[in-house]
Amino acid sequence: MTTPEFSFTLAGQDGRARAGMLKTAHGEVPTPTFMAVGTAGTVKAMTADAVRATGAKIVLGNTYHLMLRPTAERVARLGGLHKMMDWPGPILTDSGGFQIMSLAKLRRLEEKGVTFRSHIDGTTYELTPEYSTEIQHLLDSTITMQLDECTKFPATHREAKDSMELSIRWAKRSRDAFITRPGYGQFGIMQGNVYEDLRHYSALALVDLDFEGYAIGGLAVGEGQAVMFEVLDYCTDFLPVSKPRYLMGVGTPDDLLGSVARGVDMFDCVMPTRAGRTARAFTAKGVFNMRNARFQDDTRALDENCACLCCTRHTRAYLHHLFRCEEMLGPMLLTTHNLTYYQSLMQGARAAILTREYESYCADVRDNWQRGPDS
């Protein structure tokens, strides 16, 4: 068996929305796609089989968490992240940079990289573009992300420019450090905050480095959906048509629909998993809080058209009971459902793009969200 090249082909387009197929050493991923977040080598509250059953084709691992525990070297000794977590499919890992900024203590950002202390035991680490790339190699990540600096929001044009330029220099160093293997890829990350000229500059510089894909970073950091869509309105056009586009850390189901409409192919977000642990259900009829007493005698399925374990075997009343009693099965079942909902939203989007009905698909989905649990 020959390992396939890392490739991305478009299967269809509807306006700017794209339906594609990503091929990797670890399997194929129809796009648009949502990547479930498996922070520390596990999608929280889910067995790997349960993740597969949601329809997920690719998951994300967090370099920051994994480099601290169990360490990249140990993951490598255990045969790589795929083997360790029983996920033979594609895995994308982030660079660690974003979570250093949000979680670590005593961060120091310099030209060479970031020095930080672990939020767990205070140990000092230095993460450079080269080391981040090496760690992701040790993890056996299918898609490696460059180390970047995620510019804060709001930022002046000057701040955003300096930050973006640092990310470009780090992109070059990350690219140089990446060891090419058949079926593996590395993505560069566009920065530039809300400034069109900077986004354009960033994209051109990254494209020069010929990455296997491009991420759009520095969004979903507090700017709001309207501003995010405004930035996306221009910035996907700066990226090559033939490469996958990944919008990092996004988002709500509505964010996903709007971003797909603007030419994005890949997403990741903790939202469906975190919501699953805090009783928030994403459904075809909107978002429900399962702790609400309205559900205590509700014998209907959470989402009547959903084929997940939670919806086919249990009632809203049982879910409500599990969350009231703080039983682990509540988060287990609701994470299963939420991830299944996100996957089916993206599967539906793909099908609609292929038949050039994406706009009416989105309109129908959004109409349904207004219906509420009792409809």
CA 145 to chain centre: 12
Q: Which of 69, 108, 294, 366 binds a second copy (CB under 8 A)?
A: 69
**Residue among 19, 48, 92, 127 that touches a second copy (CB under 8 A):** 48
Give least dist CB 96 to a second copy, A.
Answer: 16
Examine the residue annotation and report whether 197 is marked as an active-site residue of this protein: no
Interface region with a second copy, contact rule CB under 8 A, candidates 20-28, 35-43, 247-255, 345-353:
35-43
How far apart are alpha carbons 148 and 63 in whole angstroms? 13
Q: What is the DSSP letter of 92?
A: E
**Residues 240-244: contacts with CB within 8 Å, 24+ apart?**
240/207, 240/214, 241/10, 242/8, 242/10, 243/8, 243/211, 243/212, 243/213, 243/214, 244/8, 244/20, 244/22, 244/31, 244/187, 244/212, 244/213, 244/214
Residue 70 contacts a second copy per CB under 8 A:
yes
Identify residues 308-347 at the interface with a second copy (CB under 8 A). Answer: 309, 313-315, 317-318, 320-322, 324-325, 327-329, 331-333
Specify the stretch interacting with a second copy by CB under 8 A; choose among 29-37, 64-72, 186-194, 361-369: 64-72
Write down the least CB distance from residue 62 to a second copy, Å: 11
172 binds a second copy (CB under 8 A): no
Q: Counting contacts by CB under 8 A, is residue 85 touching a second copy?
A: yes
Question: Interface residues for a second copy in 242-281 (CB under 8 A)?
Answer: none
Those residues whose C-beta lies under 8 Å from the C-beta of residue 66, and which sit 6 or more positions away, are 40, 41, 72, 75, 81, 93, 135, 139
Choice between 315 and 368, CB closer to a second copy? 315
Pick from 11, 78, 204, 241 the residue near a second copy by CB under 8 A. Answer: 78
Catalytic: 94? Answer: yes
Angle in degrees, 0-180, between the axes of helices 225-235 and 253-261, rounded to the nearest 10: 20
Give the C-alpha separation, 113 to 115, whole Å.
7
Half-sphere exposure of 6 (CA within 13 A, CB side): 18
Catalytic residue among 14, 148, 268, 298: 268
Per rule CB under 8 A, count of chain residues that contact a second copy: 39
Q: Quick one: which of 165, 133, 163 has its CA closest to 149? A: 163
**Residue 319 identity (one-letter amino acid):** L
How would you classify the pairing of strands 266-268 and 245-247? parallel
Q: Which is nearer to a second copy, 13 or 42 (CB)?
A: 42
The active-site residue, picked from 14, 94, 298, 303, is 94
Residue of the chain from 124, 156, 242, 299 that contacts a second copy (CB under 8 A):
299
CB of 352 to a second copy, least distance (A): 32
Residue type, 97: G
Q: Is 42 in the site for a second copy (CB under 8 A)?
A: yes
How far is 35 from 44, CA to CA, in rounded Å?
A: 13
Helix (H) and strand (E) counts in the chain: 15, 16
Give the x-and-dash track for 110-149 against a second copy (CB under 8 A): ----------------------------------------
Least distance between a second copy and beta carbon 33 (Å): 23
Instruction: Report the distance separating Cα 190 and Cα 207, nearest Å.
Output: 10
Tell me which of 10, 40, 76, 109 binds a second copy, using CB under 8 A.
Answer: 40
Q: Which residues are catalytic?
A: 94, 268
* Interacting residue ranges for a second copy, rule: CB under 8 A: 40-42, 44-49, 65, 69-70, 74, 77-79, 84-86, 296-297, 299, 309, 313-315, 317-318, 320-322, 324-325, 327-329, 331-333
